[in-house]
Chains A and B, each alone.
Chain A
Amino acid sequence: MNKEPLLKVEDLSVTFFTPRGTVTAVREASFEVSRGEVLGIVGESGCGKSTSAFAVMGYLPTTAETGGSISFEGKDISSMSAEDLRELRGNRIAMVYQDPTTSLNPSMKIGLQVQEVISEHLNLDQSARNKKVVELFESVGLADAEQVGDRYPHELSGGMQQRVMIAMALACDPDLLIMDEPTTGLDVTTEATILDLVASLKERVNAGILYVTHNLGVIARVADRVAVMYAGQTVEQSTVTDLFASPKHPYTSGLLSCVPKPPGDGEVSSRLKRIPGFVYSSQESEVNSCLFAERCPLADSKCTTSAPALEFIEETSQVRCFHSDKVEPDTWGGAEERISRKDVNSPTVLTGTGITHEYGKRRKKYMAFGPDIDLPVRALNQIDFQMPQGKTLGIVGESGSGKSTLARAVVGLIKAQDGSLQLNGNELDKTVENRSNEDKSAIQMVFQNPTASLNPKLKIKKTLIRSLMRFSKLNKQESEERAASLMEEVGLDPSYLERLPSELSGGEQQRVAIAGAFATNPEIVVADEAVSALDVSVQAQVLGLLEDRQQELGNSYLFITHDLGVVRYISDDIMVVYAGHIAEYGPSEGVLNSPSHPYTEALLSAAPIPDPYAKPNPLRLEGAVPTMREEFTGCFFASRCPRKLGPICDTEAPPIQKISTNENHVINCHIPVEDLEKIQS
């Protein structure tokens, strides 16, 4: 690699001038992409990765000011004329975006949308263009490539839409392909198929790929080299194997050690390490210190008085740190032992029996007569579960599998049509309105999006005091004191009580939401994707916080997530749900290891593993969870099952099989457990 790289970005800076002041999104970003390689850019939200990607496309708002240089094949993009840029875009440099649903024109057939790029940049006649579109659709694995072009974006699933976007980007055989979080927001199973496609592109096309993501597992799967960004700076650039094996920057090392590892063997024995504080967010453009210093365990006086430069420490790796030679596995503290709870027997707090819920109503064609034209959607079907005291029940499944409906049924936000809930042996009313104050305070909920679930007009103090006065029967004075101590318990300064939610970062808001849930001394906290929207470093902090609380107070969590790494880390028991049915239910390490239900197996093989040496399991699921309108005649998973036995799966409901080694571990499948174990090993 002694020739000039395809793309060379040097000391890029991007500053936005907004009515509310200047924001420096990118400060000193430097990276390069050569033909045939995938450079992954990784970092937490707000670190400037997407802005850098759009800067390479020459696409920034007119209020932005850029510095440094972006050279594509030796030509500087930032000084190009609009005409030259147009010639480049879509043709030589193409981009795939996050959120394909909003990135496709909703009122234009997808075939035409792809053709548009071809007619702009290639000199082909109509029939050749049509042929090219079909070829492109085939190459990205879209079924029915001949006809699919006549469809509108809303008629396709998210995964298919992203394939269309990729086909569009490949239309003119670009030299540089930029992918900006292309799988964020898609289900793990869909993500896996898209990542397979990206991995296959690497071999098929002779382009350089710039892959932007926050997910270290995805980076390990697709990238050859990685640039780590923090607060708008490239802090480390290295090959993917070196980066994961021996990170040179303390931030990289911290990031790697705070990601919960996806399923492997055995119990998680040590706690996640935590990077304290929050992502650097000063708006000053000139800073004379290392931007990571305030969170760094290695920081000394040199780090706060002068800024380190990005320097080569080896032929293939660069790092921006004065102390890179001191970074080692224990930089973020030694392994913190976790107390095993596997053999602790604890009483059951909450029992759910036969919980069934349908959305919508049955409608017939002519009022009360004629064929059914609308059937209710069965979101939950006969769900049984037990929550032991002081333990965590994790619920996993793709979107549409019924996870959130179950959470809402437990909290009483929806009234389940059938089944019952028992709290400490006493019947619990189905709706929160009819529950007693004691029952209400016993079950609390933390939602996915803290920004939307905290009242934006109320100071944090008001929000907390409200539930304290109502449920804990404290007077104003006492509740204020309790609110202050709650804030300290969740690791926030009590001065935050006087702030509005909008003055807090996402992670801080989620801590407030957790403080609010704990205000009533609940026995059970339902967390619906409570860490999904958070950055990994903040996610580790929040997970740690939840763990600490549980150890101190002995409450139980119903933890809903789509992230298998998180669920493995936090849960004692795991329930895998699919289309409102329990596919598998049992102790954590039992569920996540063979033998598994084929659906669990598929979820496991889809989860990206933050280890570049991990060999991807080829088992994949296509499509999405079906909308269940009528009771399945056979197995609920038959339509997508990769291990389908035969006709029996379509005609008979699967039996509940108990695993011999553990009475509490059940799998709902026709395939005998021994056979499952054999296929999966």
Chain B
Amino acid sequence: MSVAIFTATEFLPGDAASLLLGQQATESNLKNLRHNMGLDRHPVERYSIWIKNAVQGDLGMAARGGATINSMVKSRLPNSALLAAAAFLIAVPTSLFAGVLAGTRPDTKLDRILSIGSLLAISIPEFIIGVILMMVFATKLGWFPSSSIMLPGESIWSSPKILVLPTITITGALFAYILRMARANVIEVMESNYVRTAILKGISMRQVVFKHVLPNALIPTITVIANNVGWMFGGIIVVEFVFAYPGIGSLLIMAIDTRDMRLLQSTALVIAAIYAFANLAADLVYGLLNPRVRVGQ
């Protein structure tokens, strides 16, 4: 993974040195700066130094501003985590509930409204939803701030209002996605032979749904949710950018803007690591829920 990130950034045009010095830079100035920054060394060598430090927890210095990348990531990661957690906590339970509601009553009015609504929410990209929300609730109604810029020293908690719009934007897509998954799985399980068995046991529909439908319908749903944590991160990057929210996503975009390869590599690496852990967690959750994949006693 780290090799892929590194190689990809190697192919990007321009480098931090030329961007830092601007258009008036002379060749010799550039050369000096590149030497100072270590940019003139062989890529393999630079990679090995970077990865050696990275695994030890040192991501190096940013090309600009004189801050360590560690501290930048450290200050921004909690913000992103908070945004993700807020979106997740709101989206997962409500969408599962709505999905089950729709799935147990296929082709009713409620089901149609939820299905069409979720299809719309999925098809519109986050940055459009974000901008629309911004126009309505920030510019027109003025209920929430339109950007989430924080001054140095401030934290989210000093103005929690800045969380609202980004959270809603992410929640929207996530909600629609999980709802559709849950609905499809519930409908499939409702048609299964074992649900027929359960109904013909004479137990109440409530028990059929809670004991037989839900556990089996939610296993694949939850796995898919967990496997799509990475996809959600993509959404977060865009949303953070739209609202100028100080998270890891906007850090990534800033790194691209400033051609700060080291910062770009490091943020990408951090996101990749989170993605890998999320998938591992997904597999563990799946094992916990599904007796068929549990090994040993």
Contact = CB atoms under 8 A, between A and B. Distances in A.
Nearest to B203: A120
Contacts of B201: 89-90, 116-117, 120, 168
A88 interface: yes
A341 B33 CA distance: 96
B133 interface: no
Interface string B259-297: 000000000000000000000000000000111100000
Contacts of B289: 107
A254 B192 CA distance: 36
Contacts of A165: 197
Interface residues of B, number: 22
A90 B291 contact: no
Contacts of B196: 59, 97, 103
Contacts of A154: 291-292
A121 B202 contact: yes
Interface in A71-108: 85-91, 94-95, 97, 99, 102-108
Contact of B216 (A107, A152, A168): A107
A205 B289 CA distance: 38
A554 B51 CA distance: 73
Nearest to B291: A152
A174 to B, nearest CB: 10
A102 B195 CA distance: 10
Nearest to A83: B204
A103 B292 contact: no
A57 interface: yes
A253 to B, nearest CB: 35
A284 to B, nearest CB: 28
Nearest to B212: A105
Given A106-B291, A106-B292, A107-B290, A95 B200 contact: yes
B202 A87 contact: yes
B199 interface: yes
Interface in B199-233: 199-204, 207, 211-212, 215-216, 219
A503 to B, nearest CB: 26
Contacts of A87: 202
B143 interface: no
B200 A102 contact: no
Contacts of B192: 102
Given A86-B203, A90-B202, A90-B203, A105 B291 contact: no
B193 interface: yes
Given A152-B292, A154-B291, A106 B216 contact: yes
A447 B162 CA distance: 65
A97 B193 CA distance: 9
A327 to B, nearest CB: 38
B101 interface: no
A629 to B, nearest CB: 18
A117 B291 CA distance: 22
Given A106-B216, A106-B292, A88 B202 contact: yes
For the complex, would chain B's binding face be called helix, strand, loop or mixed by DSSP majority? Answer: helix
A87 B202 CA distance: 6
A64 B247 CA distance: 56
Contacts of B204: 86
Contacts of A85: 202
Given A152-B291, A152-B292, A154-B291, A104 B194 contact: yes
A121 B203 CA distance: 9
Nearest to B214: A107
B197 A107 contact: no
Given A152-B291, A152-B292, A154-B291, A105 B216 contact: yes
Contact of A107 (B193, B199, B207, B291): B291
A135 B230 CA distance: 51
Given A102-B193, A107-B289, A152-B291, A86 B219 contact: no
A75 to B, nearest CB: 16
A288 B190 CA distance: 39
B194 A103 contact: yes
Contacts of B194: 102-106
Contacts of B216: 105-107
Given A108-B212, A108-B215, A103 B193 contact: yes
Given A105-B212, A106-B216, A108-B215, A89 B193 contact: no
Contacts of B211: 105, 108, 116
B154 to A, nearest CB: 48
Nearest to A114: B201
A559 B207 CA distance: 49
Contacts of A106: 194, 216, 291-292
Contacts of B193: 97, 99, 102-103
Contacts of A121: 202
B292 A57 contact: no
Interface string A14-43: 000000000000000000000000000000
Contacts of B202: 85-91, 117, 120-121
A85 B201 CA distance: 10
A397 to B, nearest CB: 28
Interface in B153-208: 192-194, 196-204, 207
Nearest to A58: B200
A9 B172 CA distance: 54
A456 B210 CA distance: 40
A88 B215 CA distance: 26
Contact of A97 (B197, B203, B207, B219): B197
Contacts of B199: 59, 89
Interface string A113-125: 0001100110000
A34 B278 CA distance: 60
B106 to A, nearest CB: 11
Nearest to A171: B201
Contacts of A94: 200
B185 to A, nearest CB: 13
A94 B200 CA distance: 7
Contacts of A104: 194, 197
A89 B199 CA distance: 8
A86 B196 CA distance: 13
Interface string A264-307: 00000000000000000000000000000000000000000000
Q: Which of B192, B197, B200, B212 has the most CB of A within 10 A?
A: B200
Interface string A390-434: 000000000000000000000000000000000000000000000
A477 B178 CA distance: 56
Nearest to A172: B202
23 contacts: A57-B200, A59-B196, A59-B200, A86-B203, A89-B201, A90-B202, A90-B203, A94-B200, A102-B194, A103-B194, A105-B194, A105-B197, A105-B211, A106-B216, A107-B219, A116-B198, A116-B201, A116-B207, A116-B211, A117-B201, A120-B201, A120-B202, A168-B201
Q: Which 7 residue pairs are nearest across A and B when measured between Cβ atoms?
A: A89-B202, A90-B202, A90-B201, A102-B193, A103-B193, A105-B194, A152-B291
Given A59-B196, A90-B202, A120-B203, 5 more contacts: A88-B202, A97-B196, A102-B193, A120-B201, A154-B291
